[in-house]
Amino acid sequence: MKRLFCITAAVILACSTQAIDRAFTDGYTIARSRINTNKEEFGLSLLEGKLAFSRNDTVYVAELGDSFDIKSITPKPDLSALKIEGQFAHNGKTIIFSKGGELYMAEKVNNRWGNPQKLNIDGLEGGRTKVRGTSLAARRWTYKRPAVKGMYDPALSKNGKKLYYVADFEGGQGGTDIWYSVRKPDGKSWTAPKNMGSLVNTPANEEFPFPSGDTAFYFSSTRNDTLKGMNIYKTNLKAKAEMLSADFNSDSNDGNLVVVNGCPFLISQREGNVDIYRPQLPAPVVEAAPDTMEKDTTPINIVRKDYNTCIFYFDYDKTTLIDQYEKEFAYIYDFVKSNPESKFAINGHTDTRGTDEYNQTLSTNRAKVVYDRLIQMGIEKERLSYQGFGKSQPEITDAKTEEEHQKNRRVVIIKLD
């Protein structure tokens, strides 16, 4: 698939679910979502066609924008109260999730989730053994789930009749395997677990099942041919699974891929923290503009306010750096290096539009973009700190024009001593 320059929902929906990973390989990179924080984002799931995830024991539902990323998030107290561990499965008014190493089901009544009931699966008694330690626990990928035993990360087929989950039952391939049960005619119970076999499972650990459409099945594995740690695989359930391209996998832990409206999201630890990642088109290449670093009305530049302060501006709702920033970063690098005994604060800000929560995350991510880039250039971590202030400290409190809003969308680098 050729590079797409018109990013619209219609284009996303036009992508085949069977080839969704291939649709995002040519011309794309896999980048961190703007809503990530220094906390862990995990447990990607689908809820009524939307992306859901957990952070700090709170479940959120995400609203997607038109650039393959999350635009805003909304906490779901009713889901958080269920104490969901990891990925969950949702179908209509039913949710299936793991808690304490067991699978539970809850049904929505009067727009509220009822009391969870342990899922009725035939033949479980006496067939379960303890897990020797999941791939996540072994690599300090600290999901909110039992790390020593149980069943977890359920996923439902498109028609809701087949339930996939991760377990350690006897008779598996070794490690943690992906199993499935079929919904029985009574609609309330499930057949005995059946192993997905060697097309999916190996003596290593397989986790995070996700059926996409009728024939594509994604999951994660720690098998020997991974780049390192845990990587993402796909099978059509007729041939042995193959690892997705390096665009989706790294030499760290990658997993929990889900597809939302034709766009894949995943969890990765490639930059140290457990974060959400998604496809991203690189910014279009533009000719270098004349040196305008003294003009604070130009969106893509810094302002040398005085020797102890730099101000770095961003476009609306953006954190992405493009080629034109190179000269500015060279100046900032020299600015920091010229004071080897000093420390610097990197403070992110937004304009006054949007919710407090969204702007807080956006401002933090803007500050972290500058922080990460300076670290990559060789500035010592202990000399830098970053923080987001959302829309709480505007330069222009009653901004009305886009030029005035622009002055509020900034990252300020301050010499502390």
Nearest residue to 71 (alpha-carbon basis) of 154, 163, 9: 9
Blockwise average pLDDT, block size 10, the chain, 417 residues: 29 41 70 88 93 93 84 91 94 92 92 91 64 40 45 93 91 89 92 94 93 87 81 91 87 91 90 89 47 38 53 70 58 77 89 86 88 84 93 88 82 83
SS3 of the chain: helix, strand, coil, percent, to 5: 15, 35, 50
Rounded distance, CA 19 to CA 5, Å?
Answer: 19
Say if residues 389 and 348 touch (Cβ distance below 8 Å).
Answer: yes
| CATH class of the region 9-280 | mainly beta
Checking DSSP bridges between strand 112-113 and strand 117-118, what pairing results, if any? unpaired
Tokens linked to 253: 């832990």
Instruction: Give dist(CA 224, CA 214) in Å, integer.
Output: 28
Give the closest residue to 121 by CA, choosing from 98, 87, 90, 144: 98
Of 268, 234, 275, whose CA–CA distance to 251 is shortest? Answer: 268
Q: Which two tokens stand for residue 337?
A: 């290096």
Q: How far is CA 51 from the centre of its chain?
A: 10
Give dist(CA 234, CA 216) in Å, integer. Answer: 7
Q: What is the pLDDT of residues 185-240, one digit of tens each?
A: 988 899 999 999 999 999 999 999 999 877 789 999 998 776 778 999 999 888 88
| 15, 20, 25, 27: CA torsion to nearest 10 | 20
CATH number of 302-415: 3.30.1330.60
Q: What is the pLDDT of residue 19?
A: 54
pLDDT score at 286: 40
Residues 295-310 have pLDDT tens digits of 333 334 455 555 456 6
**pTM attached to this predicted model:** 0.63
List the domain boundaries for the chain.
Answer: 9-280, 302-415
Name the token pair of 269: 């630890």
